[in-house]
Structure 1
Amino acid sequence: MTHIYTKGLRSAALCATALVTLTAGAQAGGIDRSGQSNAILFEDGNLVEFSIGSVSPDVSGTYPANGANSGQVGESYLQLGFGVKQDLTDKLSIALYYDQPYGADVSYEDADLGYPIMGTTAELNSEAANLMLRYKFTDRIAMHGGLRYESIEGTVGINSFVPGVGYVDAYTLDTNRDYGTGYSIGASYEIPEIALRASITYNSKIEHTLEAEETAYVALFGANVPLGSSEFTSHSPQSVNIDFQTGIMADTLLMASARWVNWSDFEISPANYDELVSYDEDTWSYTLGVGRKFSDSFAGSFSIGYEKSGNGTVSNLGPTDGYWSAQIGGQYTMDKVKISGGLRYVMIGDATTNDFNAEFEDNHAIALGLKVAYAF
């Protein structure tokens, strides 16, 4: 009886994990995208998996001085993932996985005439390869950790209005792709008989030294002037992930998670311009949900997510602040193949931007995800 109970919970757990992982791209805190999930480490047996997510934000705001609208600011994007996990012994397992931990796609190109930064754009891309080990001291206690190799690059084009001239390219920034190394370390406690698992993972910050080409508008020349090559330092923030799950009845699993990100220590400050992005506060985001096995081949899950809004203003290059979300997912199993899908609706918190006090209200995002896993 215990074996059947645990097996059902395992299916529910896999579905719930897949849901959160697939739709994590609709994070609102900072520029968080993947949530740095290491769920593949806790999968049973050997497997390889591929995932793709699509995130469609609907974010716009109003400049109160004249009522000009920002237009659709958030650009849609894809979120890709890949991973392979293998048991080396009955106690030691290894996982190699790829994610895109941070990113931004912002455009004010559809803003009304009169919006202060009409035409401004910004893009930030990052990728990470994660190599992790997990060692079981007993059937209940384990430790995990490893290295993260991360790349990051970005471009910014800030427009502003100059009386008698119109909108000009006030400042541009184009960086190289820089690579840095960090680490993750954590521990977990399990009671397999009831599918209980509690885990905590610390992810270090990763420093990046970015080479940049900058230009600025000079009124004397009536044109953009190259500022030459420059260099500045930034880093992806340190974070902590806490995950918990337990069986609450036959074939039904309760899950909860929390994530802390040290955004207050993060900034993008080029050599020849003010801070482009910075945050006043760290963020805590939470998820609570249930997963249930409905048959030997199908399991489903539902969860809600929350991130508290901050107390200050936000950057014009990231005009969101906190969120509520709801997500559903399903997983279909065919022998060695598992296909998971998820849908997440995010109600983005209202925000006021710095510099212009533009008001962004009643915005949302929709995320879709698909993952295919093959056991070998």
Structure 2
Amino acid sequence: MVRKTLAGGFVAAAGLVALQSPAFAGGLERGGYNIDLLFDPGKVAAEAAATYVMPQRKLKNVQDVDTTSGAFPFNGTAAGNGGGNLNGLSTSADGSEGYWVPRIGIKAGIDNADCMFDYSEPWGAHKKPGRDWAGANEDIETKVESRNYALTCSYRFDAGPGQLRIIGGGFYQEVFGFQERLVQDFTGVPPAFGGLQSGVGRLDLEGDGWGWRAGLAYEIPEYAFRASLVYNSEVKLNDITGTLDLSQVNGTAPFDVYGSQSMPDVVELRVQSGIAPDWLAFGSVKWTDWSQLQKVRFFCKDPGAFAGCASPGGVTALDLGYRDGWTISGGIGHKFNEQWSGAASITWDRGTSQGYGTNTDTWTLGLGAAYTPNENVEFRLAGVIGVLTGGESGRVTLGGEEYGTRANYDFGDDLVTAISTSVKVRF
């Protein structure tokens, strides 16, 4: 009876935490990695989940810090590469966009072996402050998306009072996106000197690579106890390809660019245990190697495509300047009856920004419920509210490289909310 009661609460609470935590982490994290379905006790189980996140980051006191211009003297600024003086534009902007985080998976087990295939979108970002703010030379719109296809298997065997599970698998990952920014402001420039162009440059990119995971888990079903430690390798995007379109800046036809970057490796420790009949405690610690992402440089495939192709530092770059991320979460789950259970959790994520960007520390509170009308179907719904802590972004030097050379701004504590839902079917 103890085993049955605790296990029911365990399954519901663990699923609720999996829906809540990753979507608020720093860097480019969206859904992160999740293998909870692998532990489902059913022989065959399928799950579909979706989270919608609504951050409300507001940028304030924005200042264009390099007001030089390649269109001098028509716009009344000094000659240079700053793109013009934008300080007459809005000093505030919306620094975030809402986004979906989907996941689907299916798991099958035979004897002591289990395998799971899942699709997820672990990484992403979307900012769209627009053209009419004083930081448009830094960003008009940036969007990064990903797709991850994974196969993960485990084998478990008796060890002491419980079972030890060995976990391994691999995944194929695609990362793609674009950035638009105002390279040159042509306000006040006569048509003959480029005044008919928008001055907006656009970088499109895509890359793919393979990764692997390995881990261990120890389970004692009688106490709803599970401890797992899983390592997910980096994914080397050795051949990122794309195009740079400067046709609205200098009339140059779009040309091909290339670069390379690794997406981060991740280590996560998770512990869950029954603490009383119908009560469960859980927690996790995760480290993500976001410091791999600093300046992502792009080079011309054809060195003669554009004068800037001769630069040894590349023709353009995505400036990130991240530090490693840490995410710590803990909470309590309770089983009310055979159909209903709930959970509450609190999560802290250390921001990855280091004086440039808006990825500061985040605190979130999550509440959720699971409804199991019968042993074959489970519905879950969770809501999250949190605080994106305030800070500022400007010129900094990291590892000998400069960041934030186009705009300064600050931001206060902002609200973030999300809603998650999932359905699981066992056969």
Q: What TM-score do the two structures reach when normalised by structure 1?
A: 0.90
- Cα 1:332–1:235, aligned 2, differ >3 Å: closer, same or farther? same
Question: Residue 95 of structure 2 is aligned with which of 56, 73, 81?
Answer: 73
Matched, 1:238 2:265: yes
Quick check: 1:57–1:74 contact (8 Å CA) kept in 2?
yes
Are 2:69 and 1:48 equivalent residues in the alignment? no
Aligned to 2:146: 126
Confirm or deny: 8 A CA contact 1:25 1:79 kept in the other structure. Answer: no
Give RMSD over aligned pairs: 2.3
Task: Look up the match of 2:171.
Answer: 148
Shift of 1:346: 2.3
Deviates more, 1:58-67 or 1:304-313: 58-67
Counterparts of 1:13 and 1:161, CA distance in 2: 57
Query: Secondary structure in 1 aligned to 2:298?
Result: coil
Most deviating of 62-71 and 236-245: 62-71
Q: Which position in structure 1 is the counterpart of 2:372?
A: 333
Q: Which residue of 2 aligns with 1:171?
A: 201
- How far, CA to CA, are the matches of 2:258 and 2:62 in structure 1? 36
* Greater Cα radius of gyration, structure 1 or 2: 2
CA–CA distance in 1 between the matches of 2:365 and 2:146?
26
Matched residue type, 2:124: G
- Which one is further off, 223-232 or 113-122? 113-122
Q: Name the residue aligned to 2:298.
A: 270
Any conservation in 2 of the 1:26–1:366 contact (CA below 8 Å)?
no
**Contact kept in structure 2, 1:28 and 1:348, CA below 8 Å:** no
| Mapped partners of 2:230, 2:347: distance in 1 | 19
Task: Read off the aligned partner of 1:264 and give its amino acid letter.
Answer: S
* Match status 1:82 vs 2:104: yes
Q: Which runs of 5+ in 1 are unaligned?
A: none
Match for residue 246 of structure 2 among 195, 212, 216: 216
Deviates more, 1:17-26 or 1:280-289: 17-26
Q: Distance in 2 between matches of 1:113 and 1:173?
A: 20
Taking only the aligned residue pairs, the percentage that are identical comes to 24
Contact 2:31 2:121 in 1 (8 A): yes
Residue type of the partner of 2:32? Answer: G
Distance in 2, matches of 1:82 and 1:280, equals 29
Q: Provide, for residues 98-144 of structure 1, a one-character-per-residue CA deviation record: whole Å limited to 9, x for no partner.
A: 110001111012x7543444871011110111101111132421110
Counterpart secondary structure, 1:357: strand
Q: Which residue of 2 aligns with 1:182?
A: 211
Match of 2:287 among 260, 263, 266: 260
- Deviations 1:54-77, CA, capped at 9 Å, x for gaps: 111111111354694442221111
The whole-number CA distance in structure 2 between the counterparts of 1:249 and 1:117 is 57
Match of 1:157 among 180, 184, 189: 180
Residue in structure 1 matched with residue 307 of structure 2 by the alignment: none
SS in 1 for 2:261: strand
Contact 2:3 2:223 in 1 (8 A): yes
**In 2: Cα distance, 1:261 partner to 1:289 partner:** 21
In proportion to residue count, which structure has more strand?
A: 1
1:350 alignment counterpart: 390
Q: Give 1:226 deviation, angstroms.
A: 3.4
Contact 1:25 1:53 in 2 (8 A): no
- Aligned partners of 2:10 and 2:274 also within 8 Å: no
Q: Measure, in 2, the Cα distance between the counterparts of 1:11 and 1:53.
A: 23
Segment drifting more, 348-357 vs 231-240: 348-357
Structure 2: 5+ residue runs without aligned partners? Answer: 64-86, 190-194, 300-313, 394-403
* CA deviation after TM superposition for structure 1 residue 244, in Å: 0.5
Give the TM-score normalised by the residue count of structure 2.
0.80
Tell me, in whole angstroms, the C-alpha distance in 2 between the residues paired with 1:230 and 1:17.
Answer: 44
- 2:318, 2:353 → 1: CA distance? 19
- State how far apart, in whole Å, the 2-side matches of 1:368 and 1:87 are: 31
How far residue 214 of structure 1 moved from its aligned partner, in angstroms, is 0.5
User: 2:27 touches 2:322 (CA, 8 Å); kept in 1?
Assistant: no
